Amino acid sequence: MTSSPPVLEVKGLRTEFHMGRSRLCAVNDVSFSIGRGEVMGLVGESGSGKSVTGYSIMGLVDPPGHIVDGTIRLHGKDLRGLPERQMNAIRGDRVSIIFQDPMTALHPTLRIGQQMIDAIRAHRSVSRSEAWRRSRDMLGRVGIPSPGERLSAYPHQLSGGMRQRVCIAIALLNDPDLIIADEPTTGLDVTIQAQILAEMQALVAARGTALIWVTHDLAVVANIADSVAVMYAGSIVERGPTDVVLRRPSSPYTVGLLNSVPSRNQGASRLSQIPGTYTPAVSEEAVGCRFAPRCPRADDACTVFPALTAAATGAPGHEVRCHHPYAAREGRLSHV
Amino acid sequence: MGWFIARRLGQFLLLLFVMSLVVFVALFALGNPVLNFINPSSPPDVVRQAIHNLGLDQPAYIQYFRFLSGIAHGDLGNSYTSGRPALRLILERLPATLELSLGAMLIATLVGIPLGLGAGYRPNSLVGRFVEGFSLLSVSLPTFWIGLMLIIVFAIETGIFPAGGRGPTTDLLGMKVSFTSLEGLRHLFLPALNLSLFPMALAMRLTRASVEESLRMNFVRYARAKGLPPRRILSVYVLKNVLPSLVTVMGMVLGGLLAFSVITESIFAWPGTGKLVIDAIQISDRPVIIAYLLFTVFIFSTINLLVDIVCAVLDPRISLRGAAS
């Protein structure tokens, strides 16, 4: 999509969890790339593997989880199989992550300043006072009033929105090339959510940082992302430029997802819902399209796992993993 | 903070009163102690005179009130055998016990916590397996047996350490202490090591369990995501989370060591309070027993107070105002 070499290029990523004898495949054949200054939305239900994708990139998948296949290239260098020491040097420096719940992510009994200074001094040999100064400036930049005082506060003394801003500030501290934001605004009320979204967008745009925004909220994606990848049961079922995917969705799952977004124009009619129940854990033996049991268009062909192919819209980079994708027009949202 | 300490003091006094009542009633039920230390063949009027001198011919409630008013004046009664004030006897022996217990705690924490950290961080490593085996062994083997083994191996067979007794003492802030000289330390080491085994095993197991739990916490994953070196994560992020519960338990254990290090003190002929109270119990030296038990109440209350203060310092989310009850 972009002419410059991608910051991050993930190819054929497969992450499994080995539970006793059974192997659960949380991420299956996930590929995408993201360039400098780009924002990618990674969308899916809980358990669709979007967070595990993020952790896989960071090398933070703990046993019983293992990355079993694929490459994760940061500026062309494969992070998979990198010794823990070198990976540690990249984590928090070139790639940083913002967790969903800032209350449990920040250490409850360490001062904010200490946690920020640690993040700097793990990667830069600067004095404590210099690290303290940088931390204060960064808190100011993410919109925290009187940042100098906040540095000596404990997490429980800050509001949820403030704590999440602290986490965003920590993610930005070392001026990373890529930030993975794992549903960072989920626990916050909508006004704070909108503020943080806007600030985040401005901050990454100013620095040319690539951003992966993991979320289940399509409205957020529409606001912030240049491109979007929709995940279902561990695989990307559709991806492409945000406006194309959201306006002319091709995968039946994306259509179902978009139809179940409440909208103002919908009036009193009952909110549409994808039929069936979601089964997040995909065992090793499962074959065929994972969405087939709930899909209105499924037939015998769907017993074979589909590959990602170019969508009918013909938009650059718009791909869909489906045997029976919607054509360019018919997939439009029924309610919009 | 002041209010908190005041409330604690109130609780302490109440506890002391209840304890004195319980102890007094229990000891009274044991019968007349005079017959234990007076010549049974003495003429009846001599026995009667001895009973009268000790005030034991009075009804129980009068004895108790005399005892209470004595406490109010800081007088816990005189020992029946030596005739000296019971509290003074205890305080004279206290430095030896204090030295022994603190020495044991020092060994227990210095060895137990780092090993527990290592075992929690890598449960399947050599350290992890050692901690598993060692802690199980030292919790299940009786203290007196280990004490005897230590004496046999290190004192009798090899002669590296003395078999018992306390080394030369010097005066430190009015207390007679022995850890200031090398000879004193040599005497202190074996009994302290013996006494330290149980708290050491406890510290190991507790640290290991809390570390394993902490490592699964989100803030540890976040610390890793920041790229912090494992050593820093373990020694700051994990340890800071583990310490409050560790301090609480080790505080209780220290109280136990100070009050009930009887066995170790007997085996190593350590002239501490444990030995004093065992002797007192054997001859029903009532004032000494009562004074000692009240003294243990004081020790436990003080340690609990200190533990609460330390925990509040370690964890800023704990407020002392609400923690008093």
Q: How many CA atoms lie within 13 A of A247 on its CB side?
A: 7
* pLDDT-derived band at B206, boundaries 50, 70, 90: very high
Task: Say if residue B106's pLDDT is above 90.
Answer: yes
Q: How many CA atoms lie within 13 A of B29 on its CB side?
A: 6
Using a CB–CB cutoff of 8 Å, tell me whether B310 touches chain A: no
The model's pLDDT over A50-70, given as tens digits with 9 standing for 90+, comes to: 888 888 988 888 888 888 888
How far, in Å, CA of A115 to CA of A137, rounded? 15
B263 touches B220 (CB < 8 A): no
Q: How far is A48 from chain B (nearest CA, A)?
A: 20
Task: Say if residue A2's pLDDT is above 50.
Answer: no
List A40's β-bridge partners, or say none. A212, A227
Q: How far is B308 from chain A (nearest CA, A)?
A: 16
Which of A206-210, B107-111, B285-289 has the weakest average pLDDT? B285-289
The size of the A-B interface in CB pairs under 8 A is: 75
Contact B225 A156 (CB under 8 A): no
Task: Say if residue A3's pLDDT is above 60.
Answer: no
pLDDT in the model for residue A330? 54
In the predicted model, what is the mean pLDDT of residues A266-273?
Answer: 67
Q: Indicate which of B122, B124, B213, B219 best probes the interface with A, i.e. most A CBs within 10 Å of its own CB.
A: B219
How far, in Å, CA of A252 to CA of A260, rounded? 12
Residue of B nearest to A55 (CA): B225
List, as one string, the DSSP characters of B68-125.
HHHHHTT---B-TTT-SBHHHHHHHHHHHHHHHHHHHHHHHHHHHHHHHHHHHH-TTS
pLDDT in the model for residue B111? 93
Contact A122 B227 (CB under 8 A): yes
Using a CB–CB cutoff of 8 Å, tell me whether B231 touches chain A: no
For helices A160-172 and A112-121, the axis angle rounded to 10 degrees is: 20
**Nearest Cβ partner of A107 from B219, B225, B227?**
B219
Compute CA distances A278 → A220, A274, A319, B273, whole Å. 22, 9, 23, 68
How far, in Å, CA of B240 to CA of B244, rounded? 8
Q: Beta strands of chain A (E only): which ranges?
A: 8-19, 22-34, 39-43, 65-74, 77-78, 95-98, 178-182, 210-215, 227-232, 235-241, 309-310, 319-320
Domain locations along chain B: 2-72, 90-323
Domain locations along chain A: 103-175
pLDDT in the model for residue B103? 92
How far, in Å, CA of B294 to CA of B23, rounded? 9
Q: Indicate which of A79, A107, A117 best probes the interface with B, i.e. most B CBs within 10 Å of its own CB.
A: A107
Q: Between the CA atoms of A187, A246, A244 and A31, what dihedral angle is there, to the nearest 10 degrees? A: 50
Task: Say if residue B129's pLDDT is above 70.
Answer: yes
Q: How far is B219 from chain A (nearest CA, A)?
A: 4
Task: Say if residue A1's pLDDT is above 90.
Answer: no
Mean pLDDT of chain A: 83
pLDDT in the model for residue A331? 46
How far, in Å, CA of A39 to CA of B136, rounded? 54
* pLDDT-derived band at A282, boundaries 50, 70, 90: low
How far, in Å, CA of B151 to CA of B219, rounded? 47
Compute CA distances B133 → B41, B130, B139, B140, B201, whole Å. 57, 5, 10, 11, 10
The model's pLDDT over B147-183, given as tens digits with 9 standing for 90+, comes to: 889 888 888 888 888 887 787 777 777 777 778 778 8
* pLDDT-derived band at B73, boundaries 50, 70, 90: confident
Provide the percentage of residues in chain A whose pLDDT is more than 70: 91
Residue of A nearest to B233 (CA): A118
Contact B241 A101 (CB under 8 A): no
Whose CA is closest to A70, among A202, A236, A203, A303? Answer: A236
In the predicted model, what is the mean pLDDT of residues A154-158?
Answer: 89
The model's pLDDT over A63-112, given as tens digits with 9 standing for 90+, comes to: 888 888 888 888 888 888 888 888 888 898 899 999 888 788 898 888 99
- Name the DSSP letter for residue B172: E
Helix residue ranges per DSSP H, chain B: 2-29, 34-37, 44-53, 60-72, 86-121, 126-140, 143-150, 182-215, 218-225, 230-232, 239-260, 262-267, 273-282, 286-314, 320-323
pLDDT in the model for residue A283? 62
More confident residue, B267 or A261: B267
pLDDT in the model for residue A286? 65
Residue of B nearest to A123 (CA): B227
Which class is B90-323 in CATH? mainly alpha
Whose CA is closest to B94, among B292, B252, B319? Answer: B292
Contacts of B311-318 with CB under 8 Å at 24 or more apart are B311/B244, B311/B247, B311/B248, B314/A109, B314/B240, B314/B243, B314/B244, B314/B247, B315/A108, B315/A109, B315/B244, B316/A109, B316/A154, B316/A156, B317/A108, B317/A109, B317/A154, B317/A156, B318/B244
The model's pLDDT over B212-254, given as tens digits with 9 standing for 90+, comes to: 888 888 899 899 899 888 888 888 889 888 998 899 999 989 9
Contact A122 B229 (CB under 8 A): yes
pLDDT in the model for residue A335? 41
Residue A329 CA, chain-centre distance (Å), reads 28
More confident residue, A268 or B122: B122
Contact A119 B317 (CB under 8 A): no
A44 touches A230 (CB < 8 A): yes
Q: Show residues of chain B in contact with A90, CB under 8 Å.
A: 227
Contact B316 A97 (CB under 8 A): no
Handedness of CA B62, B68, B74, B75 (dihedral sign): positive
pLDDT in the model for residue A266? 57
